Chain A
């Protein structure tokens, strides 16, 4: 909820999904520039979603940013190796998050 508010206040359009499959459904319906992806989710985990996106002919250029409490070096490396643009660890500073996302989207 707070994330939604944060993004909206920065002038971004936000879509929310509560699970990996829901996220992929939403991607099919709309096109997005950036996906903020939790890892620990019911059914498909974040890694799988990222892989699917990055292997998709159309979506592969969408930015994927992991947002997760999994903070081990190996988790971060795994995420990055799957083609993510960034990996942000929870808990995070809202300022840092919003700055980073804007940065990515400007590029």
Chain B
């Protein structure tokens, strides 16, 4: 019966994997965040499902540390993960060993050491899961005669087959990956449902709820289990679990390699703790319940199952399936991860290095399958041959401490650029050795942890704490010490820089850091890749790259450096960075494949960027300045031109009166018999012209003074009406001649602060213009507003032609409509008036200009002085 259930369940797993690979792809993409988070929950294995209860029943709340550790690390986890994921994706790293190897100069010895460590630490852990399957089956069968070997062998073989199909091409085949992710997510759901709902049902049906259990426990004297027994151990477990959460091979597979997009991390940050909370919710009640209800001497690890059995077969089945899910998910992922490491660092190098003189190589896939075989064989043998007296948790803890030896090197990989491979090798070796002697060997020999021969430095701590502290401490110290005195290769330094700065470096930097000689040709590179990669993969990757970069690969042309980097990355995802590098160097033995110093590249890039921004700034500023200069030049030009024009016009104007004067005087000299009237006429005319000339010269000087700002106004309190009065007589005379009348309108006194002489000039100018152009009337109006007097000079003449309006106040501009009257005035009148009014801080303008109506010039003077 049990076999049937197990078989069916495992069959379901196959189905789900197939679905994930094909039909379910879209679904997986859409909910990638949830699948991702559920994948990470592979952290909870049979240890969690059964072992926690066992631990709680004997050691109280100690068990919590293993889950609180990761939860506490989660805020950090999120930022660190981004870095790890980005690095792994950029360099095509597919396992923890790959990650560490890549950072430390792609050293093969480090890869090997890491793999050995992992195998030694994880094999017991794997065996533990197999044991859980058989033990739980046993509990259900309640019959020791049914040989456990049947169930666990069967399940092991089935799991092996599963891993063969879905756990090998995992690293480089996204479809395969989907299959695996779907399966693990499914299994995580099963175990959490079983744990939470199963637990709830038992606590409420078998007992009267959690409070009842607590009460009963207190009376039974079990209250000590509601506390932490040993705080030092607790702290230790917290920290080590935190590390393990990153470093366990299965965790790296699910959290880093299976990650599709970085933003999925955000979901994981809350979903994973929630999951762990739900898994552990009923642990304490069930542990206590077990202590209370079940016969003494029962294995506390399986209290859950026992209580479920007592409940109903259905419950038992549910719990069993939960445990099965927990174990199998761990086995699948972990074995794939470890197999990949074995393949990369132990199997593939044998063929690449041509040690056996074989020309052919096995494909990485086959190599990984061999690795899987090794892993399963080891795990099963361990399980079968070594009788375990340990509790699940103890075995687990020892594995954790073993894995934790990778922590110093791992952390340094991300945050300490000076860590070198020699340092890590040394530190790791020492830590590993200590672990081995203290736990590893004895464990493999089957002795209990308290029978271990070890040195208790700190008496108040448990042996576990001691060894952990000492091994990790020495590990870190030696790593640091040797790293500091070591001088790493350029490759190492570059990788250190990349790992440290991945979030800030652009991909092009490490794409182009390779220096290759010209002898690496397309033909040879492709041959190399085809040897180790499946054909479709080569087309999908390398050939696509050709297209994207618009490269036409001629077989004997040299390959650019960035393509060589890319090829190396393709090889890395098949066989790890160390072996990939060996393969590459083996193929192109005589060629140099070296590296630029990435720090140099970064510095150069940064300097170039700075130069560029500085250059751009300078160019912008230059453009602006040039614009200003051009404008100033234009202004100068036009001013110069104005001055030229002015000079030209002035001299031109001077010539006219001079011409007339000269002609007249010459005539008077030459014509002896000139009639007296004519002579008198000429003399008058000459005098008139001299006056005109003088007026012109004064005007020009005036204008010049105003323009150059040299004009001084002598201000006094002036009554504008009075001013008007003084010139009115002369103007009236002229006006009468033309038949024009002048009207004045406004208050009696118009007081302002002004230079009387100048204002007189203005009024004369406006008034004489008005008289010149008026039909019949001219009017002068004095109005006011809040601050100023407004003086309007109005005539009823035809007004100013539209095209003349903008030029009205310009120098020498005279109206074209002078057919009727002789040209009088110098053309400077309005210009001078404007200057004078402006100097008084007033305004002057043409305010009304309608041919049918009036033409009005208005100027303002302030009322009470400036």
Contacts and interface: CB of A to CB of B under 8 A. Distances in A.
Interface of A: 1-3, 5-6, 9, 18-19, 21-22, 40, 42-43, 69-71, 90-95
Interface stretch (B26-34, B126-134, B226-234, B654-662): B654-662
Interface of B: 652, 655-656, 658-664, 666-667, 670-671, 674, 678, 681-682, 685, 816-819, 822-823
Contacts, number: 60
Contacts of B666: 93-95
B819 A69 contact: no
Max chain B Cβ within 10 angstroms of own Cβ: one of A2, A3, A9, A18 = A2
Given A2-B660, A2-B685, A69 B652 contact: yes
A21 B671 CA distance: 33
A95 to B, nearest CB: 7
B659 A90 contact: yes
Instruction: Please name the 10 residue pairs, one residue from A and one from B, whose CB atoms are nearest each other, closest first.
Output: A69-B655, A90-B659, A94-B666, A2-B663, A91-B659, A2-B664, A91-B662, A91-B658, A42-B818, A90-B655
Given A1-B685, A2-B685, A6-B663, A91 B655 contact: yes
B818 A69 contact: no
Given A90-B658, A91-B659, 15 more contacts: A1-B682, A2-B660, A2-B664, A2-B667, A6-B663, A19-B819, A42-B816, A43-B816, A71-B655, A90-B656, A91-B658, A91-B662, A93-B662, A94-B667, A94-B670
A6 B817 CA distance: 29
Contacts of A69: 652, 655-656, 659
Contact of A2 (B655, B682, B816): B682
A9 B673 CA distance: 10
A18 B670 contact: no
Contacts of B681: 1
A5 B659 contact: no
A18 to B, nearest CB: 7
A62 to B, nearest CB: 23
Contacts of A91: 655, 658-659, 661-663
A21 B667 CA distance: 29
B49 to A, nearest CB: 108
A95 B652 contact: no
B819 A94 contact: no
Chain B contact residues: helix, strand, loop or mixed = helix
B498 to A, nearest CB: 76
B54 to A, nearest CB: 115
Contacts of B658: 90-91
A86 B670 CA distance: 24
A42 B652 contact: no
Max chain B Cβ within 10 angstroms of own Cβ: one of A1, A19, A43, A95 = A1
A34 to B, nearest CB: 18
14 contacts: A2-B664, A5-B671, A40-B652, A42-B818, A69-B655, A90-B655, A90-B658, A91-B655, A91-B659, A91-B662, A92-B659, A93-B662, A94-B662, A94-B667
A99 B817 CA distance: 35
Contacts of B817: 42
A71 B670 CA distance: 26
Contact of B819 (A5, A6, A42, A92): A42
B812 to A, nearest CB: 11
A21 B816 CA distance: 13
A91 B655 CA distance: 6
Contacts of A18: 819, 822
Contacts of B656: 69, 90
Nearest to A98: B670
Nearest to B681: A1
A53 to B, nearest CB: 20
B652 A70 contact: yes
B671 A9 contact: yes
Contacts of B660: 2
A57 B656 CA distance: 33
A9 to B, nearest CB: 6
A5 B667 contact: yes
Nearest to B816: A42
A22 B670 CA distance: 31
Contacts of B664: 1-2
Contacts of A71: 655
A13 B363 CA distance: 124
Nearest to A96: B666
A71 B649 CA distance: 12
Contacts of B661: 91
A21 B664 CA distance: 27
A16 B685 CA distance: 18
Contacts of B662: 91-94
Nearest to A92: B659
Given A1-B681, A69-B652, A69-B656, A94 B663 contact: yes
A103 to B, nearest CB: 18
Nearest to A94: B666
B149 to A, nearest CB: 121
Contacts of A9: 671
Contacts of A2: 660, 663-664, 667, 682, 685
Max chain A Cβ within 10 angstroms of own Cβ: one of B656, B663, B817 = B663
B169 to A, nearest CB: 92
A70 B819 CA distance: 21
Contacts of A93: 662, 666
A96 to B, nearest CB: 10
Nearest to A67: B659
Contacts of A21: 819
Contacts of B816: 42-43
Nearest to A90: B659
Contacts of A95: 666, 670
A92 B662 CA distance: 8
B446 to A, nearest CB: 120
A3 to B, nearest CB: 7
Nearest to A72: B648
B804 to A, nearest CB: 12
B660 to A, nearest CB: 7
Contacts of A94: 662-663, 666-667, 670
Nearest to B655: A69
A90 to B, nearest CB: 4
Nearest to B682: A2
Contact of A92 (B663, B670, B682, B818): B663
A38 to B, nearest CB: 9
B662 to A, nearest CB: 5
A72 to B, nearest CB: 8
A71 B658 CA distance: 14
A69 B660 CA distance: 11
B794 to A, nearest CB: 25
Nearest to B818: A42
A94 B682 CA distance: 14
A35 to B, nearest CB: 18
